[in-house]
C-alpha cells in the first residue's frame, strides 16, 4: 500500500501540468454528454496521470486501463473517451475505468464502480524468483484484452521492486513491443526473445 501511495504522488507531481490539459478536454466532453468526472480526487488524479503516461509512452491518448492491442481498429476504439462508454455505463454505472459517469450518479454508485475496478486490478501477481508471468488473466468482454494487462502487472510489481532485472513472460508479441516502449520511456533496458512457445522479456532496471 505504501509503495502504491509513493507511486501515486510521484506521478501526481510528474504530470501535474500535463494533467491540466486532460482536465480541459474532459470538462468539455462531460458538458457535451451530460457526464461527470469521478468525484474522488484520488481516483480522478490517478486516471489523469495514467492518461498522461499513456500519451507520453505510446504517443496517443489510449485508455488508461488497457495497453495498446496492436489491432489498429481496436486501438482507435480505445482512445479516451472510448467507444464503450455508454454501454459500460449501462452495465457498471460508469465507464470501465470509472473516470466518466452520468452527472446524476450517486456517491455510492461512484464508489461501487471504483471498487469494482480496484478489485479487477489488485489481483495476486505471478512473480517468482524475479520472473513475472503475465499470462492467463481474465479477458475484458468488450475489448477481448486481459485485465489486468501486462503493463499494469509490471507497473504494480515495479513499485518497490529492488532487484536490477525483472524477467517478464508475455503472451503476444505486441505486449513485448509495448514493454519496449515502457522501458524506453522509463529509461530501462529491454530485450526479448521467443523460446519454447512463449515470449520472455528482460527489463534492465539499473545501468
Q: Is 63 in the site for ligand SF4 (CB under 6 A)?
A: yes
Contact (Cβ atoms closer than 8 angstroms) between residue 198 and residue 163? no
Q: Is 80 in the site for ligand SF4 (CB under 6 A)?
A: yes
CB of 11 to ligand SF4, least distance (A): 16
**Region binding ligand SF4 by CB under 6 A among candidate stretches 14-22, 97-105, 155-163, 177-185:** 97-105
* Maximum CA extent, the chain: 53
Q: Is 152 in the site for ligand SF4 (CB under 6 A)?
A: no
Binding ligand SF4 (rule: CB under 6 A), the pick from 68, 81, 101, 148 is 81
Q: Give which of 93, 128, 129 is closest to 114, Cα–Cα.
A: 93
Q: Is 95 in the site for ligand SF4 (CB under 6 A)?
A: yes
**Region binding ligand SF4 by CB under 6 A among candidate stretches 35-43, 61-69, 124-132, 183-191:** 61-69
Q: Is 43 in the site for ligand SF4 (CB under 6 A)?
A: no
Q: Is 146 in the site for ligand SF4 (CB under 6 A)?
A: no
Q: Give which of 67, 199, 90, 92 is closest to 143, Cα–Cα.
A: 67
Residue-by-residue DSSP string for 31-94: HHHTEEE-S-HHHHHHHHHHHHHHHHHHSS-B-TTS---S-HHHHHHTBSS-TTHHHHHHHHSS
Residues that bind ligand SF4 (CB under 6 A): 63-65, 80-82, 84-85, 95-97, 99-100
Amino acid at each position: 500500500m505504501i509503495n502504491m501511495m509513493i507511486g501515486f504522488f510521484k506521478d501526481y507531481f510528474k504530470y501535474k501540468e500535463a494533467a491540466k490539459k486532460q482536465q480541459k478536454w474532459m470538462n468539455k466532453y462531460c458538458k457535451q454528454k451530460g457526464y461527470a468526472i469521478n468525484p474522488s480526487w484520488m481516483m480522478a488524479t490517478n486516471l489523469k496521470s495514467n492518461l498522461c503516461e499513456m500519451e507520453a509512452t505510446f504517443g496517443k491518448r489510449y485508455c488508461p486501463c488497457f495497453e495498446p492491442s496492436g489491432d489498429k481498429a481496436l486501438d482507435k476504439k480505445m482512445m479516451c473517451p472510448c467507444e464503450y462508454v455508454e454501454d459500460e455505463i449501462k452495465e457498471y454505472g460508469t465507464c470501465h475505468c470509472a473516470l466518466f459517469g452520468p452527472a446524476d450518479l450517486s456517491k455510492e454508485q461512484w464508489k461501487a464502480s471504483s471498487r469494482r475496478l480496484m478489485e479487477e486490478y489488485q489481483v495476486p501477481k505471478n512473480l517468482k524468483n524475479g520472473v513475472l508471468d503475465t499470462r492467463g488473466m481474465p479477458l475484458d468482454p468488450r475489448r477481448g484484452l486481459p485485465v489486468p494487462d501486462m503493463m499494469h502487472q509490471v507497473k504494480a510489481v515495479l513499485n518497490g521492486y529492488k532487484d536490477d532485472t525483472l524477467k517478464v513472460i508475455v503472451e503476444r508479441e505486441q505486449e513485448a513491443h509495448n514493454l519496449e516502449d515502457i522501458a524506453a520511456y522509463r529509461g530501462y533496458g529491454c530485450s526479448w526473445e521467443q523460446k519454447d512457445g512463449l515470449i520472455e522479456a528482460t527489463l534492465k532496471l539499473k545501468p
